[in-house]
A and B are shown apart, each in its own frame.
Chain A
Amino acid sequence: MIENRPWLNVITHAGLLLGVFFLCFPVWMALVASTHGPEALSRSPIPLWFGDRGWENYSQLLAGGLPEAGGVPVGMMMLNSLIMALLIAVGKIAVSIIAAYAIVYFRFPFRMGFFWMIFITLMLPVEVRILPTYDVIVRLDMLNSYTGLSLPLVASATATFLFRQFFLTIPDELVEAARIDRAGPMRFFMDILVPLSRTNIAALFIILFIFGWNQYLWPLLVTTEERYYTIVMGIQRMTNSGEALPVWHYIMGTAVLAMIPPVLVVLSMQKLFVKGLVEQEK
């Protein structure tokens, strides 16, 4: 719909600005709160502009551990989250692109059966199968390990389905040209399929990285050692400070820090993503 009426423009812009305000206000508050001392945030009215303790708060968060978070340095938790999120994102993409490759390009018994089996797992996210999965991880002795943190989250029906749909749009002639050019199955996959999928991979990476980064329940179950704590767990532990007042300035600081990696991923991959959309290959 293309219309050109000034007052309509004003209304739409006002609507959009309101939306932006609602979305950004919590982020703004976190940012502001992280630069004040603990007292400023327990008093009313709470400040809406930056305080003077930003430097102090952040250096305390990054360098030393917080007793409120079990004494684990935020930097370490961020690293754990990063490793987990990367393992999940890369693992999911790798497994699903290979699964889709098998399903689309190879004829094997029960091919469609396998496809539907993968598809059905859409209905079984970790939260649903959490007890049996936990049991498996215990038996495999994977508690308190990066493998335990990421492996149960790696299988992805959605990504498999997405790659399958994409592969189905690749013309047969291209596959045949590659066969004539002596590209075996491995070469065809690495030289042709993967490069052609790179915008899909970028889009999925963004989504899956954030999915991995935001994991809460599963890390809570499989980690008991502090050196495997993730940042999302850390924030939660800080708010559960029991008798003492919650350290809101630290909590908000941690939240701000926790936002940085996903934002960086989105910003850096977005370029590739948009580029892929604009330069549509035929």
Chain B
Amino acid sequence: MAGLSLRGVKKVYPGGVTAIHGADIEVADGEFVVLVGPSGCGKSTLLRMVAGLEEITGGEILIGGDVVNRKEPGERDIAMVFQNYALYPHMTVRENMSYGLRNMRTPKAEIEARIAEAAKILQLGDYLDRKPRQLSGGQRQRVAMGRALVREPKAFLLDEPLSNLDAKLRGHMRAELKELHQRLRATFIYVTHDQVEAMSLADRIVVMNAGRIEQIGAPREIYDRPATRFVAEFIGAPPMNFLPGALIGAAAPHVGVRPEALTVGGAGEVRLDGVVKLVEDLGADRFAHVAVKGAEAPVIARVAAHARHAPGEAVALTAERASLHAFDAEGRRAA
């Protein structure tokens, strides 16, 4: 285990696409860092540069204090879990997990012990002699995790490891992964486009957009104080509402307010009048889409589960001033 530093890391693909414009990230030993952003923003590129699978155009990457720019992936002492798992189809689960260790000439007894340990943690004991094609998606995912685990690497790199699973299994594996991290206290860098995964897994989140880092911070911090309008919109579902500042008498050009900060009726300091267009019932939560005069898009507000709002009904939405997020014309947070 070790910490990781990215210093001014740049990536220009041959052909001229600049995928990363310069990234500075410090990952502490044992930290779970999630890189999150929309598809194509450069998350995979960044992770693959850390892994050594992609050449670094500029800047430095340090693992455990050593610059690894010129090192082969196998020499960086990292393990990677791929989106499609990349298990060797012709090898059994056991062979898949031991392949890297065998290449490093780890003693047989040691390999056996590590596989037994990983199999116990990941409940793979019954499948060790199966081939990947004889496993379900979730089991394959575990094997991919197991293959990383037995390496006892300085850092685990995961690229959208759960995105091929169905929603229910994804939730389950997410919890397992979190538990695994708490148990191992190893350094994890995790790439996802799913903000729910980011929020629930991360010690710290790195939000990326178009090859640039928008904000780095603890999940709560990112949620409560998004540094840019992009972060504010990307993190949180349904997303934050944006209104012209003038509409509520604010100085900033753009003001954001989260759906749960709005109440129907109530006695908030800010008031918006509108007409309910539709009500979304998600079981635990219920969201009303309200057309407000002067706002570009319908304003979404979380409403009480027992409240009955019909489309066409005129409502007043209110919020506290403290719950508003002000952004300047460039989309940066206005203190």
A177-201 residues with Cβ-Cβ distance < 8 A to B are 177-183, 187, 191-192, 195-196
Chain A residues positioned under 8 Å from B104 (CB to CB): 182
Output the least CB separation between B186 and chain A (Å). 16
User: Are B99 and A180 closer than 8 Å at their CB atoms?
Assistant: no
B39-93 residues with Cβ-Cβ distance < 8 A to A are 51-53, 72-75, 78-80, 82-84, 86-90
Answer whether residue A3 sits at the interface, using C-beta atoms and an 8 A cutoff.
no
User: Are B86 and A179 closer than 8 Å at their CB atoms?
Assistant: no
Query: Among the listed A179, A187, A282, which residue makes an inter-chain contact with B89, where contact means beta carbons less than 8 Å apart?
Result: A282
Chain A residues positioned under 8 Å from B130 (CB to CB): none
Answer whether residue B133 sits at the interface, using C-beta atoms and an 8 A cutoff.
yes
A179 vs B51: C-alpha distance when bound (angstroms): 10
Chain B residues positioned under 8 Å from A192 (CB to CB): 88, 90
User: Are A174 and B88 closer than 8 Å at their CB atoms?
Assistant: yes
Output the nearest chain B residue to A180 by Cβ-Cβ distance: B73
Query: Among the listed A177, A179, A182, A279, which residue makes an inter-chain contact with B88, where contact means beta carbons less than 8 Å apart?
Result: A177
A173 vs B157: C-alpha distance when bound (angstroms): 14
A140-181 residues with Cβ-Cβ distance < 8 A to B are 171, 173-174, 176-181
User: Are A173 and B84 closer than 8 Å at their CB atoms?
Assistant: yes
A39-67 residues with Cβ-Cβ distance < 8 A to B are none
A173 vs B159: C-alpha distance when bound (angstroms): 11
User: Are B80 and A176 closer than 8 Å at their CB atoms?
Assistant: yes
The A/B interface has a contact count, at CB < 8 Å, of: 62
User: Are A191 and B99 closer than 8 Å at their CB atoms?
Assistant: yes
User: Are B74 and A281 closer than 8 Å at their CB atoms?
Assistant: no
B166-184 residues with Cβ-Cβ distance < 8 A to A are none
Output the nearest chain A residue to B75 by Cβ-Cβ distance: A182
A279 vs B89: C-alpha distance when bound (angstroms): 11
Chain A residues positioned under 8 Å from B103 (CB to CB): 181-183, 187
Chain B residues positioned under 8 Å from A182 (CB to CB): 74-75, 100, 103-104
User: Using an 8 Å CB-CB cutoff, how does the interface string of A249-282 with B read, 1 for contact, 0 for none?
Assistant: 0000000000000000000000000000001011
Chain B residues positioned under 8 Å from A195 (CB to CB): 90
Output the nearest chain B residue to A179 by Cβ-Cβ distance: B73
Chain A residues positioned under 8 Å from B51 (CB to CB): 176, 180
User: Are B86 and A171 closer than 8 Å at their CB atoms?
Assistant: yes
Output the least CB separation between A196 and chain B (Å). 6
B76-124 residues with Cβ-Cβ distance < 8 A to A are 78-80, 82-84, 86-90, 99-100, 103-104
A138 vs B82: C-alpha distance when bound (angstroms): 55
Output the least CB separation between B106 and chain A (Å). 11
User: Are A177 and B80 closer than 8 Å at their CB atoms?
Assistant: yes
A177 vs B79: C-alpha distance when bound (angstroms): 9
Output the nearest chain A residue to B53 by Cβ-Cβ distance: A176
Given the known interface contacts A279-B133, A282-B133, the answer about A180 and B88 at a Cβ–Cβ threshold of 8 Å is no
User: Are B133 and A177 closer than 8 Å at their CB atoms?
Assistant: no
Chain B residues positioned under 8 Å from A177 (CB to CB): 80, 82, 86-88, 147
Output the least CB separation between B41 and chain A (Å). 20
A181 vs B133: C-alpha distance when bound (angstroms): 21
Query: Among the listed A171, A180, A191, A196, which residue makes an inter-chain contact with B74, where contact means beta carbons less than 8 Å apart?
Result: A180
User: Are B100 and A179 closer than 8 Å at their CB atoms?
Assistant: no
A281 vs B73: C-alpha distance when bound (angstroms): 26
Output the nearest chain A residue to B51 by Cβ-Cβ distance: A180
A178 vs B51: C-alpha distance when bound (angstroms): 12
A17 vs B238: C-alpha distance when bound (angstroms): 68
Output the least CB separation between A138 and chain B (Å). 45
A183 vs B83: C-alpha distance when bound (angstroms): 20
Chain A residues positioned under 8 Å from B88 (CB to CB): 174, 177-178, 192
Given the known interface contacts A180-B51, A180-B74, A181-B103, the answer about A281 and B89 at a Cβ–Cβ threshold of 8 Å is yes
Output the least CB separation between A107 and chain B (Å). 11
Given the known interface contacts A173-B84, A279-B133, A281-B133, the answer about A179 and B90 at a Cβ–Cβ threshold of 8 Å is no
A182 vs B75: C-alpha distance when bound (angstroms): 7
Output the nearest chain B residue to A195 by Cβ-Cβ distance: B90
User: Are B99 and A179 closer than 8 Å at their CB atoms?
Assistant: no
Output the least CB separation between A44 and chain B (Å). 59
User: Are B53 and A196 closer than 8 Å at their CB atoms?
Assistant: no
User: Using an 8 Å CB-CB cutoff, how does the interface string of A68-101 with B read, 1 for contact, 0 for none?
Assistant: 0000000000000000000000000000000000
User: Are B79 and A180 closer than 8 Å at their CB atoms?
Assistant: yes
What are the 3 A-B residue pairs with the smallest beta carbon separation, nearest first? A182-B74, A181-B100, A173-B86
CB-defined A-B contacts under 8 Å, sample of 20: A171-B86, A173-B82, A173-B84, A174-B88, A176-B53, A176-B80, A176-B82, A177-B88, A178-B88, A179-B74, A180-B53, A181-B74, A182-B74, A183-B99, A187-B103, A192-B90, A195-B90, A279-B133, A281-B90, A281-B133
Identify the A interface with B (CB < 8 A): 171, 173-174, 176-183, 187, 191-192, 195-196, 279, 281-282
In the complex, besides A174-B88, A176-B80, A181-B103, 9 extra interface pairs with C-beta distance below 8 angstroms are A171-B86, A176-B53, A177-B80, A177-B86, A177-B87, A179-B74, A181-B99, A187-B103, A195-B90
